[in-house]
A and B are shown apart, each in its own frame.
Chain A
Amino acid sequence: DVQVAESGGGIVQPGGSLRLSCVASGFTFSEYWMHWVRQAPGEALMWISRVNNDGTTTYADSVKGRFTISRDDAKNTVYLQMNSLRDDDTATYYCARGATAGTWPVLDPWGPGTLVTVSS
């Protein structure tokens, strides 16, 4: 079964840091891009970051300079290091595999998500 699963969420004070992990199984991790998407309570999905299989990274403007995505192919794991956290970073964070269906990039599958709450 192709699966991804996040961990590392929790409660953190404004200005603090947190590192999320996402472990993958059931596929050759090193061959795939990996993405992070977040969803604030009651809000829409928001793509925030991607790491290509060659290590190239991309970020949404809202997290650039504060968040860092990385991968460890030996551990089948992608990470999201989040620094200088703000109240509006409060969200459920999803990890998703970047696959290609036909010739079209898709996010599939997604993990169950991990909740990050930024609050004093």
Chain B
Amino acid sequence: IQMTQSPSSLSASVGDRVTITCRAGQRISTYLNWYQQKSGTAPKLLIFGSSNVQTGVPSRFSGSGSGTDFTLTISSLQPEDFGTYYCQQSYSSPYTFGQGTKLEIK
């Protein structure tokens, strides 16, 4: 299942509301996870099942969507939120990832 994220990169200011989108090549219900990766480190699970925030993740992160279209929203961007964000479908093997969205802080 092909996963397509947009944008590929974005630059935003602290306090901004940021939205990243992910589109699946076929319907995947809510089997959509989001991961954050900071340079040189392992990815970290942020959101599972499209809209469920992983324990310990700040409440400014939220997710939504079902079927083929999904969004990750950061309600008020913080300096520590820089990094690359990946969506991943876990509906069927192989568990494919999107190409990533690189988020830079202005």
Residues of A within 8 A of B (CB): 35, 44-47, 50, 58, 60, 94, 101-113
CA distance A28 to B57 in the complex (A): 24
Complex interface: chain A residues within 8 A of B93 (CB): 50, 58
**Shortest distance from the beta carbon of A59 to any chain B beta carbon, whole Å:** 8
Asked if B86 and A44 make an inter-chain contact with CB atoms under 8 angstroms apart, the answer reads yes
* Residues in chain B within 8 A of chain A (CB atoms): 30-31, 33, 35, 37, 41-45, 48-49, 52, 54, 86, 88, 90, 93-100
> Is the beta-carbon distance between B86 and A108 smaller than 8 angstroms?
no
Taking CB atoms, residues of chain B closer than 8 Å to A104 are 30-31, 33, 48-49, 52, 90
Question: What is the chain A residue whose CB lies nearest that of B29?
Answer: A104
Cross-chain pairs A/B with CB under 8 angstroms, 28 sampled: A44-B97, A44-B98, A45-B35, A45-B37, A45-B86, A45-B88, A47-B88, A47-B95, A50-B93, A50-B95, A58-B93, A60-B94, A94-B42, A94-B43, A101-B52, A102-B48, A103-B49, A104-B31, A104-B52, A104-B90, A105-B90, A105-B95, A106-B33, A106-B48, A106-B90, A107-B35, A109-B42, A109-B45
